Amino acid sequence: MNPDQPEESGPERPEERGAPVGRRVVLGTLGLGALGVLAAPPLQRGLESFLAGASEKDPTGLTGLLPNGGGFRYYSVASSVPHKDETNYRLTIDGLVDRPGTYTLADLRALPQTRIVRDVQCVTGWRVPGTPFEGVRLSHLLDAAGVRSSAGAIRFTCFDGVYMESLTLEQARRADVLVALRMQDKPLGHNHGGPVRLYVAPMYFYKSAKWLSGITVTEDVRPGYWENRGYDVDAWVGRSNGRDDEPTT
Ligand SMILES: Nc1nc2c(c(=O)[nH]1)N[C@H]1C(S)=C(S)[C@@H](COP(=O)(O)O)O[C@H]1N2
Ligand SMILES: [Mo]
């Protein structure tokens, strides 16, 4: 962990770091998790930083059975996020394009799907091995929209109303950047940013904006939510943010 980097889970609570994980603590955590992940964000953020430490030290293996199992933490910077499904989900593409448009979930499902299996790496340190993501290549949507020659970047917006991300046009056209409809071979659940999230395989997971609702083609990159708070705009795993993680691609 790089101490210079801000943490999406908020300030570490010292008493939750390095403390031995007793049976009572683990069982108490299980109870908290059952209350629901996004219902109480401040509590959940504390819980996440606790689990980040606990899963490395847990002598019982019980943390593997927690509701965030599989190694993922659920992150949201918004205190509540509306649920969207095939009845009301829309993805818009606009900005410097010849053919702006709107996609429903059915529209996206009808396009060619690409499946990619790579490790997921969060900049706070947790990593999840070989995770399948599946969806439409972002480059396919950009080609369909007709990107104008003045364009240089893409801005992503989210229906949580808060989160933002961006990529250069060159990064966005990579074959391993998806508008993802599935994760772990299941439809993307709400907590993982469903029904549709961005998936940027070679970059730290903060690039993979959850609850994706807008793709705007722009001239220049605009720093995203976490980038305004200190993360690198070019978020290559292993060569940014002062970290030396094994690359994911
Ligand atoms: N809309 C939105 N997207 C987001 C975030 C967020 O808070 N809101 N957090 C980012 C960060 S820092 C990480 S590590 C991943 C977490 O994805 P997960 O909750 O599916 O594990 O989502 C990224 N995308
Ligand atoms: Mo993250």
CATH number of the domain that residue 225 is part of: 3.90.420.10
Q: C-alpha 159: how far from its chain's center?
A: 14
CA of 192 to the centre of ligand 2 (A): 12
Strand ranges in the chain using DSSP code E only, listed in sequence order: 91-95, 101-103, 114-121, 127-137, 153-158, 164-168, 177-183, 186-187, 197-200, 212-218
> Residue 31: its pLDDT value, please?
39
Task: Report yes or no on 234 lying in a domain.
Answer: no
Ligand 1 nearest atom to the CA of residue 72, by list position = 21
Closest ligand (CA of 188): 1
Nearest Cα residue to 207 out of 169, 166, 240, 178: 166
Task: Report yes or no on 70 lying in a domain.
Answer: no
In the structure, ligand 2 is a single-atom ion and the residues with CB under 5 Å from it are 122, 205-206
Residue-by-residue pLDDT tens, the chain, 249 positions: 444 444 565 433 322 233 333 333 333 344 344 333 443 344 444 444 454 444 444 445 555 555 555 688 999 999 999 999 999 999 999 999 999 999 999 999 999 999 999 999 999 999 999 999 999 999 999 999 999 999 999 999 999 999 999 999 999 999 999 999 999 999 999 999 999 999 999 999 999 999 999 999 999 999 999 999 999 999 999 999 999 999 999
Task: Report yes or no on 123 lying in a domain.
Answer: yes
Same domain membership, residue 209 and residue 98:
yes
Name the token pair of 206.
């903060």
Task: Report yes or no on 82 lying in a domain.
Answer: no
Same domain membership, residue 36 and residue 115:
no
Same domain membership, residue 213 and residue 154:
yes
Q: Quote the number of domains for the chain.
A: 2
Domain residues for the domain of 166 are 91-229
Decide the pairing of beta strands 212-218 and 91-95.
Answer: parallel
Task: Report yes or no on 246 lying in a domain.
Answer: no
Same domain membership, residue 104 and residue 221:
yes
Same domain membership, residue 131 and residue 58:
no
Nearest Cα residue to 241 out of 117, 134, 121: 121
Q: Is 192 in the pocket of ligand 1 (CB under 6 A)?
A: yes
User: Atom 20 of ligand 1 has which residue's CA nearest to it?
Assistant: 192
CA of 178 to the centre of ligand 1 (A): 15
| 141 touches 215 (CB < 8 A) | yes
User: Quick count: other Cβ atoms within 10 Å of Cβ 60?
Assistant: 12
Per the confidence metrics, is the pTM higher than 0.85? no
